[in-house]
Structure formats: C-alpha cells, structure tokens
Structure 1
Amino acid sequence: MTAGTVVLLRHARTAYNASLRLQGQIDIPLDDVGRWQAAEGGAALASSHRATRIVSSDLGRARETADAYADALGGASVAADARLRERGFGEWEGLTGAELHERWPEEYAAWRLGAEPTGAGAETKAAVAARTAEAVTEHAADLDEDATLVVVSHGAAISLAVTALLGLDPSTWRGLVGMHNVHWSHLHRAGEEAHPAWRLVAHNVGAGYPLDRWQAGPDWNLEPGPKSA
C-alpha cells in the first residue's frame, strides 16, 4: 500500500527570502510576514487537505511552517527528516544575485540557464531529487491508499522531488515554475504498475491572496493613519 495523495508544501518567508538571498541549507527562522503566511497558508491547506501524516525538513523555517499547519488541524504531530532539506549551494549560500554575478559571473550566468554551479560546491540536481523523492516515497509507503501525506520542504527541493516522482530527468527537465512561500503541489498515486507512479494534480497553489498582498503580509490592507497637525 501507499498513500493515495501527497502534498508538498514550501515553507513561509524568511528575511533571506525578503532580501532575495540564496538560502540553501542555512538555518534561519521565519520573519514576521512568514509567521503570518504560515498561519494563513496552514489554515487554507487544512481546509482542503487533512494530513494522515506530516513530515518536515529539519530546518527551522520548514518546521515552523509545518507546526502552523499542524495547529490548524488541531495539534497533529510532525516528524522531521533531513533528506527533505533544501538543496545545498556551498559558497553561494547567503548571497544575493548581484553578489553572485560579481564573484562568479560566468558560472552564475550558466546557472540561470539551468547549469550546475558545481564550482561553488553545490549539490547536483540529481542528488537532491534522489534524496527528496526517496524520503517522500518511504513516508508514503506504509499509509493506506485513502491517506494523505503532507511534506513541508523548500522551493528547489520540492521542484526536484516532483520532477523525479513524475519520472522525469531532474538534471535537464525544468518544466515547473518555482513555488511561492506557503504554496503547495498536489500529487495523486497512479494505478497499479503505472508509469510514472504519480500524477501532478495541482502546482503552486496557495491561500488565495493576490501575490503582492501575500508578500506584503498582514498589514497590506491597513489604511494610512491620520496625519499629525
């Protein structure tokens, strides 16, 4: 048996997301907007997908997001799995695109076109896809076909996991748009002996806010205060 539904949820916003820094495996917490996103997105996900099991990356930003979703379900438990961590980017972690362009101009340009930044000590896409897909498959394997597995992870890690689960080559296939914070992908188990074993039902689904409001956080709708005399 295996779970019939898998949902992969990206973590909420951090200060590095807000400043467009490449996070990789640096372990930093959610910022104030991120905590709001986690609560709003967790409630939205709980209204459409009630997890039988929740598994999270062991990095703090993912675990905080998983806990918010678990709270929306009434206090479900969350297991951690380091295989669900974000792709490691070596020396590039913590830097902005402008800084990467300045220090590694040729390799950065190639990366933007889909190449591997191996000179920086980054994990390959194939390695990340293998570990994340393995984790998802294992956690789903002992659940009933009517069960739902919710996995809380990271942008690149989720895109690569989904690519692998769909039977595509993660080293070359780039057909998925990057996910926004606290947005999710929904996969459904295909028939017995089907190839690929999973089908993509939805991708980059969120709480329904316009993106500019989602990124602005809970104060987006506040009217300007009265001017002082």
Structure 2
Amino acid sequence: MTARTVVLLRHGRTSYNASMRLQGQVDIPLDEVGRWQAAQGAAALVTSHRATRIVSSDLGRAADTAAAYAELVGVPVETDPRLRERSFGRWEGLTADEIAERWPDEHAEWRRGGEPRGVGAETKVEVAERTAGAVREHAEGLEGDECLVVVSHGAAISLAITGLLELDATAWRGISGMHNVHWSHLHRSAPGAVPGWRLVAHNVGAGYPLDRWQAGPHADLEPEPKSA
C-alpha cells in the first residue's frame, strides 16, 4: 500500500532568507521570525492534515520546522538527507548581485532556467530524482488512508513535485516557488493512472497576508479570516 496523501512543507525563515542569500545546503538555523512561522504554520496545517509519518531534511531549519508540527500530532520526526535543498556549490551564501558580478554568464543562464555549469551545483534532474525518490519510498511504508508530511526546502520541493508528476525537470518550470512554512498537497492517483500523483494544492499557508507573515511575531496582527 501507499499513502494517499503527501504534504510537502517548506521550512521557516532564516537570516539568509531575510537577506536574500542563496542557502543551498548551508546548515543555517531558523531566525526569530522563522520559529514563529513554524509554530503558526504547524497550528494551521494540523487542522487539515494530521500526519501518520513525518520525514524531514536533516538540515536544522527543516528539522526544527518539522518538530513544531510533530509536537502537535504526537509523531516523531525522521530525517533523510535526500530531502536536503539543492546544492549550489560555490554560490551558496551569496546574494544574486554577488553571483552576477562574479559569474555573469552562468548567472544569466540560471535566470533563464538553465543550469549553472562549472560552480559545483546539482542539476535539476539530480535533485528531482533524489527528492521524488525519497518521497515515494517513505509513502510506500504507509497504508492507503494515512498521511505523510515531508519537510524540505523551496527548490527541493518544486523539483520533487516535478518528479512526482513525471515532468521534465530540465525544461519544465510550471511550479512557482513556495513561501516559508507553506505547503503543497499531493494525492495518489488510481492504480495504473499516469502520472502516479496529482497536485491538489500548492503554496498554502496559515492565512496571513505575505507582508504580515514576513513581519513576524512582533507585528501584533491576527491572520485575516479565510473566506468560506
């Protein structure tokens, strides 16, 4: 049997997110806003999805986000390095302006959707294969009506979805990026259907407008009520 529901949850904000630095696999922790987002997002997610199993990237920002949700559902967090963010090699820790200044041609190619060659970055196909493969493997261990929550990273999640939908990770760019502590929901297709998974919802969050979400715990603002 395979879990029918998979939720892919992005981690909370870090100081690199706040300063627009490319994180990749740098193991940087959540900042204050990120910890608040993790708590708020967990409270929202648990109202619609109660995981039977929680698996997280082993990078701290993802594992700590997973822990906030796990505390509410009473399920332990497992870690899997295959769920790490895409590695960007020598670009990690740099801003877009710094990358463009030092690698103008490679940066321009990356912005067009190509691969940043020669900097030690993983290809999109490599990331899609490892992340989607991990999700499929963890989902296989659950019964049909159970829910798997996977906590990972922005590019890793977009490419995992691309892989699960059996699309071309090199050329297809139809999945938008996700905000911190927002999630996507996929549902297992009927046996024999192609692709094997369907995207039900994408970039869902706790109900805060984005500017308030990024302002963090000191904004003293309540989430706007969701429309019926």
TM-score (norm 1): 0.95
Partner of 1:181: 180
Q: Partners in 2 of 1:113 and 1:202 — Cα distance?
A: 26
Structure 1: gaps spanning 5 or more residues: 223-229
1:124 deviates by: 0.3
Q: Partners in 2 of 1:202 and 1:163 — Cα distance?
A: 14
Partner of 2:161: 162
Partner of 1:227: none
1:118 deviates by: 2.0
Partner of 1:55: 55
* Correspondences of 1:40-51 after superposition (within 5 Å): 40-51=40-51
Partner of 1:13: 13
Are 2:78 and 1:107 aligned? Answer: no
Q: How much is the aligned-residue C-alpha RMSD, in angstroms?
A: 0.8
Q: Partners in 2 of 1:177 and 1:197 — Cα distance?
A: 21
> Which string of whole-angstrom CA distances, capped at 9 and with x for unpartnered residues, describes residues 204-226 of structure 1?
0000000000011011237xxxx
> Which string of whole-angstrom CA distances, capped at 9 and with x for unpartnered residues, describes residues 125-183 of structure 1?
00000000110000000211101000000000000000010010111100011000000
Write the letter of the residue equivalent to 1:43.
Answer: A
Structure 2: gaps spanning 5 or more residues: 222-228
Q: Partners in 2 of 1:86 and 1:77 — Cα distance?
A: 22
Larger Rg: 1
SS of 1:158's partner is helix
1:109 deviates by: 1.1
> Which string of whole-angstrom CA distances, capped at 9 and with x for unpartnered residues, describes residues 73-118 of structure 1?
2x32000000000000000000001101110111101101101012
Q: Partners in 1 of 2:39 and 2:215 — Cα distance?
A: 15
Partner of 1:194: 193
Partner of 1:84: 83
SS of 1:26's partner is coil
Q: Partners in 2 of 1:139 and 1:221 — Cα distance?
A: 39
Partner of 1:136: 135
* Correspondences of 1:183-222 after superposition (within 5 Å): 183-221=182-220
Write the letter of the residue equivalent to 1:28.
Answer: I
1:46 deviates by: 0.8
Q: Partners in 1 of 2:150 and 2:136 — Cα distance?
A: 11
